[in-house]
């Protein structure tokens, strides 16, 4: 079994059926090391440019559903392409990266890859990609609707003045301020602004 076949087998369970073939080919062609990680709360994926003896490195959370995993992997591959074209000369999420992301994602914008609801919103998103998928609230809602059921709910779905847990802290939900809610830390009253689509426990 060659490297491309090994990568294809490794990522197959994490991406929509059939996409593992072109993805593995790209990873091998760019001599990229891909790591599938445990869940990280702060980021879905990461790209590291070549340094010393290390080549391109990409990591993606293995806890993501197949559609979020694919989008995240392609997002990071666009950083790789952007680095190969421009190095340090351009902004990591500037117009050059956006163009690379559009180019890399276009082959996957198909109904046999994404469900219709995600595909329609993703096409809108890709017209002017954001630096992180979480900044597109509608796309994130749709992606999360395909997550496995759990005991977590979205902050926007619980009533005002209800207590909830985020990480190892407990808060009380207050009023909405644009895309975030004002939340008070139990015991201190310290105020935090929390995303409406943050996953919380009640």
Question: What's the number of CA atoms in the CB half-sphere (13 Å) around residue 128?
Answer: 2
pLDDT in tens, the chain (202 residues): 798 999 999 999 999 999 999 999 999 999 999 999 877 777 889 999 999 889 999 999 988 999 999 999 999 999 999 999 998 899 989 999 999 999 999 999 999 999 999 999 999 999 999 888 878 889 999 998 898 776 568 898 899 999 998 877 899 999 999 888 999 999 999 899 998 888 888 8
In order of 27, 72, 201, the CA distances from 62 in angstroms are: 17, 11, 21
Domain ranges of the chain: 3-144, 153-200
Instruction: Quote the pTM value.
Output: 0.80
């Amino acid at each position: 079994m060659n490297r491309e076949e090994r990568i294809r087998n490794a990522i197959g369970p994490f991406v929509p059926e059939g996409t593992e073939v072109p993805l593995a080919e790209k990873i091998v062609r760019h001599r990229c090391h891909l790591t599938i990680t445990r869940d990280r709360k702060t980021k879905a994926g990461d790209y590291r440019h070549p340094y010393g003896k290390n080549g391109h490195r990409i990591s993606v959370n293995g806890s993501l559903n197949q559609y979020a995993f694919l989008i995240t992997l392609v997002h990071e591959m666009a950083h790789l392409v952007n680095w190969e074209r421009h190095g340090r000369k351009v902004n990591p999420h500037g117009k050059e990266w956006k163009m690379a992301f559009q180019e890399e994602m276009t082959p996957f914008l198909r109904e046999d890859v994404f469900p219709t609801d995600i595909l329609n919103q993703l096409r809108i998103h890709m017209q002017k990609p954001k630096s992180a998928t979480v900044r597109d609230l509608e796309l994130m809602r749709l992606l999360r609707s395909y997550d496995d059921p759990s005991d977590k709910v979205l902050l926007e779905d619980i009533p005002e003045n209800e207590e909830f847990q985020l990480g190892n802290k407990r808060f009380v939900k207050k009023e909405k301020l644009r895309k975030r809610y004002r939340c008070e830390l139990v015991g201190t009253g310290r105020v935090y602004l929390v995303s409406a689509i943050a996953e919380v426990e009640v």
